Amino acid sequence: MKTTEEGYLEKTPLSSWTLDGFCDWCASDDRFASEKKKMLDYIKRSLVNVTKSGLIPVEMRQRATELLDQLKKWKTSRTKAGFFTQLENKRKLSLIEGEKAVELAEIERMKVTQLRTHVHKAVNIHQNIAEDFEETSKKQVASKRKDVEGSNEHVPVKKNKIEDISRTATSAAAEAYYVQKHEIFKRPHADVNTDKDTDKLSLQSGSQNGKRNIDNLDKDELRDEEADKAKLLSNSSDADSDDNSSVSEKENDDEDETEDTDGDVEEHDLPGASVDDDGLSRAVVDAIKKARHHSSGKTSPMYYGVLDLRPRSLTDYTDIRAADLLPKDHLPSVRSRLEVAKSSLFDPAESVCKLLEAMQKLPAKSLVEICERMRVDGATGLLRRLVEVISVASVHRSDTLSELLKEESSKGSGSTDNVPGIDAATAVGDLKSVDPEDKEIQWVFHAIDETSSLSILSTSIRVIRSGFLETNITERDIDMNLLKQFFDSLWDVTHLHYGEGESRASRNRRASIKSGGNVGDRFDWLISCYSTFPDDVRGIEFGVVENSGPNQVDGMEKVRADIVKVIKTARDQLLEIIRKVRIMYGADHLPQDIEHGIKALFIVALHVVGLNVRAYVVYWLGGNVFAVAELGSARLPHSLESIHNALKFCRLVLRMIISRSIRLVDILFTEIKLSPAGSPPRFDQWQVPDMQTSVKQCKLKLSK
């Protein structure tokens, strides 16, 4: 019921004034409490006050007079008593409807509870069936081994020959499992309770089918390569069952979240790999499994099949690194792609490097004064000013640590004849060779100008003269006022999508493992290229940027969650490229040169924490295993003294390897149209069990 100080005549437009409406409004007001006399007196008094007031327009007074006449006729009619009877009936009806709504809600709650109980029982039944299959399979293997040993009692056979029979049987089971699993993916998922249970059942069923063919094997034709392959698969299958069951128990503890199998895209390595490759793949898979059993495993990318090659930080609370779990002799192999990413192959143009080195050695004040003239002098004028400044002996930069130590060792006999650390003649020659019409040269000046205007807390700079960084800045402030001008250089080769954009790669990966109800992760920036794969959406994604916020520091829960999300989505973006390549090729297994091209791809992932920006690269090792490593880091400038940080960030952005990855994908799409059919895939390399990641229930509701 409502209680209001304004009356019906004040709240209702003149054209809507009616006696019935006035009565209904009074009946819903608590002041009258269904008292007939009070209600009628209030209506009459309100209308009389309107007719007698000289300040009210004539139209309103005329309408009030008409309503007074209707009120008098209504009082003398027989419908007055009927109105109050109907009013009481309406109140009773509303109470009944309210009680009915409560009952319906309770019935709905009971239905949901019953459904949950039914699903839980069904899952338990599937788990019991899977365990029975596993136990039966082990008994069959033991029985077959005894039969083989008995049949060879009087024949001198090598000891490992019997083991080869069992291993090759498991290899046959792997082939049956591969076919059956792909058939499962083609069927609709509506009849499957959980992806994990389906995978278990298909694995055990395939294993039985393969082991029934033991008697048909020709022991004399067994090959060592097949035996090793079967042994690795057999070991990994047992470990996979344990991993999946343990994850299920942990994930089901969270009642507020539903589960989404993460990374179900199955990849296979090339055939004919060397023994060293087999050993490396086994070591990587074992390291990932160890990380999953770690107490803080879910806070590491290794939980999701991404080998973590990042350096350990003093403020990093993640205890899991590949360097701790992988044998030392295998680290150089998995880090080889990182060395390529950090090599001079991806350095900016030589002229840009010369410009950045010269500007890095200037004092901050001189650097800001030069860049402020960008709009007036242009790139040509700024280069000329740089030459003049470096040639003047009165300009000095602050001493570096090495210079201070050198001065101390020489008992304070440091020289100040010229700018410390600058060979004036060499620097002037380098700057004169720089082309001011180069777009990257112009962008460097533009970025420094824009950044310095946000970095200097004085009255001489456009934006931050008011003390912008002293205010309570937000993630969007950092994105638009600090990051944007650095990312502008990428527009020549990519598209930049800003503002909580949904990653289609993340969405497609989730959609491929469950029917509907899935959405992709959202990020502050998404980097894509439409021309490479025009799909009427955004093309192919080549990078992702996430800002955790200006008030966050390393080790906070949000920071740890964001970095895992960033790396997982970069992995999904690379998986999406692999999926498109395989679709265009028409087969899951790719030729060797195409696979090497995919392994040369890098997906860039940037994570901003406070004012620190870290750039990571994600690349493919094989199968469904990836690796992540740090490409570099920089701190955004926040004051006059820190303006040189902008130069470091310029170099970091310019050396990002997005443009090369785009060219590689273009070449891959061209090559696969000309490549011959591939050979059969390997089942034993670079395969880890797919784990599950939680998705908030609200996301599922929004997507429906």
What distance in Å separates the CA atoms of residue 688 and residue 325, rounded to the nearest whole number? Answer: 15
Q: Is the pLDDT of residue 415 over 60?
A: no
Q: Is the pLDDT of residue 461 over 70?
A: no
Q: Is residue 384 situated within a structural domain?
A: no
* 269-283, 506-520, 560-574, 590-604: segment of lowest average pLDDT: 269-283
Distances (CA, A) of 699 to 43, 110, 258, 518, 691: 52, 24, 10, 8, 20
Q: What is the mean pLDDT of residues 98-102?
A: 82
Q: What is the mean pLDDT of residues 331-356?
A: 79
What distance in Å separates the CA atoms of residue 279 and residue 281, rounded to the nearest whole number? Answer: 6
Give the percent of the chain with pLDDT over 90. 4
Q: Between 505 and 36, name the one with better pLDDT.
A: 505
Q: Is the pLDDT of residue 326 over 70?
A: yes
What pLDDT band is residue 568 in, cutting at 50, 70 and 90?
Answer: very high
* 133-142, 264-273, 360-369, 371-380: segment of lowest average pLDDT: 264-273
Q: Is the pLDDT of residue 199 over 50?
A: no
Among 302, 322, 363, smallest CA distance to 624 is for 302
Answer for the pair 321, 629: CB distance below 8 angstroms, yes or no.
no
Residues ≥6 apart with Cβ < 8 Å to 508: 520, 572, 576, 579
Q: Between 149 and 119, name the one with better pLDDT.
A: 119
What distance in Å separates the CA atoms of residue 567 and residue 580, rounded to the nearest whole number? Answer: 20
Nearest-10 Cα torsion for 518, 519, 521, 522: -170
In the chain, the number of structural domains is: 2
Among 293, 321, 297, 294, smallest CA distance to 309 is for 321
What pLDDT band is residue 628 in, cutting at 50, 70 and 90?
Answer: very high
Best-predicted range by mean pLDDT (129-143, 232-246, 247-261): 129-143
Q: Which pLDDT tens digit goes with each residue over 49-76?
A: 888 887 788 888 888 888 888 887 777 7
Q: Is residue 113 situated within a structural domain?
A: no
Determine the pLDDT at residue 248. 35
Q: Is the pLDDT of residue 619 over 90?
A: yes
Q: Between 620 and 19, name the one with better pLDDT.
A: 620
* 147-151, 181-185, 476-480: segment of lowest average pLDDT: 181-185
Q: Is the pLDDT of residue 357 over 60?
A: yes
Angle between helices 644-654 and 439-455 (to 10 degrees): 140
What pLDDT band is residue 565 in, cutting at 50, 70 and 90?
Answer: very high
Choosing from 77, 100, 135, the residue where a domain stops is: 77
Q: Is residue 71 situated within a structural domain?
A: yes
Q: What is the mean pLDDT of residues 32-58?
A: 80
Q: Is the pLDDT of residue 218 over 80?
A: no
What pLDDT band is residue 423 in, cutting at 50, 70 and 90?
Answer: low
Q: What is the mean pLDDT of residues 201-211?
A: 39
- What predicted TM-score, i.e. pTM, was given to this entire model? 0.51
Terminal alpha carbon distance of the chain: 35
Determine the pLDDT at residue 182. 39
Q: Is the pLDDT of residue 229 over 80?
A: no
Pairing of strands 306-308, 625-635: parallel
| Distance, CA of 440 to chain centre | 30
Determine the pLDDT at residue 204. 41
| Distance, CA of 227 to chain centre | 40
Choosing from 77, 100, 115, the residue where a domain stops is: 77
Residues in the chain: 704
Give the percent of the chain with pLDDT over 70. 57
Determine the pLDDT at residue 618. 93
Determine the pLDDT at residue 325. 86
Among 185, 204, 306, smallest CA distance to 691 is for 306
What pLDDT band is residue 514 in, cutting at 50, 70 and 90?
Answer: low
Q: Is residue 414 situated within a structural domain?
A: no
Q: What is the mean pLDDT of residues 615-634?
A: 88
Instruction: Name beta bridge partners: 695.
Output: 258
Residue type for 603, please? Answer: I
What distance in Å separates the CA atoms of residue 28 and residue 43, rounded to the nearest whole number? Answer: 14
The mean pLDDT of the chain is 68
Q: Which two tokens stand for residue 462?
A: 């456009």
What distance in Å separates the CA atoms of residue 447 and residue 637, rounded to the nearest whole number? Answer: 11
What DSSP string describes 333-365?
HHTHHHHHHTSGGG---HHHHHHHHHHHTS-HH
Q: Is the pLDDT of residue 331 over 90?
A: no
Q: What is the mean pLDDT of residues 116-135?
A: 79
Q: Which pLDDT tens digit goes with each residue over 240-295?
A: 444 443 333 333 333 333 334 444 333 333 333 333 467 888 888 888 888 888 88
* 11-15, 199-203, 656-660: segment of lowest average pLDDT: 199-203
Choosing from 77, 95, 116, the residue where a domain stops is: 77
Q: Between 418 and 275, name the one with better pLDDT.
A: 418
Instruction: Name beta bridge partners: 95.
Output: none
Give the DSSP H/E element, type plus range, for residue 693.
strand 691-696
Torsion region of 586: left, alpha or beta (phi above 0 gives left; psi -120 to 50 gives alpha): left
DSSP structure class, residue 191: G
Q: Is residue 590 situated within a structural domain?
A: yes
Q: Is the pLDDT of residue 654 over 70?
A: no
Angle between helices 224-251 and 195-211 (to 10 degrees): 150
Q: Is the pLDDT of residue 200 over 70?
A: no
Residues ≥6 apart with Cβ < 8 Å to 486: 447, 451, 649, 650, 653
Determine the pLDDT at residue 47. 86
* Alpha helices, DSSP H, located in 152-190: 159-186
Best-predicted range by mean pLDDT (237-241, 282-286, 409-413): 282-286
Determine the pLDDT at residue 114. 83
Instruction: Name beta bridge partners: 526.
Output: 497, 544
Residues ≥6 apart with Cβ < 8 Å to 25: 8, 12
Determine the pLDDT at residue 574. 92
Q: Is the pLDDT of residue 561 over 50?
A: yes
Answer for the pair 300, 560: CB distance below 8 angstroms, yes or no.
no
Q: Between 156 and 339, name the one with better pLDDT.
A: 339
- The position carrying tokens 């990653």 is 503
- The position carrying tokens 């009165």 is 394
Q: Is the pLDDT of residue 374 over 80?
A: no
Residues ≥6 apart with Cβ < 8 Å to 83: 23
Q: Which pLDDT tens digit goes with each residue over 521-552?
A: 888 888 888 887 877 777 889 889 998 888 88
What DSSP string describes 595-639?
HHHHHT--EEEEEEETTEEEEEEEEEEETTEEEEEEEEEEE---S
Q: What is the mean pLDDT of residues 386-390?
A: 76
Instruction: Name beta bridge partners: 605.
Output: 544, 616
**Range of the structural domain that residue 62 is part of:** 8-77
Q: What is the mean pLDDT of residues 588-613?
A: 87
Q: Is residue 559 situated within a structural domain?
A: yes
Answer for the pair 80, 23: CB distance below 8 angstroms, yes or no.
no
DSSP structure class, residue 504: H
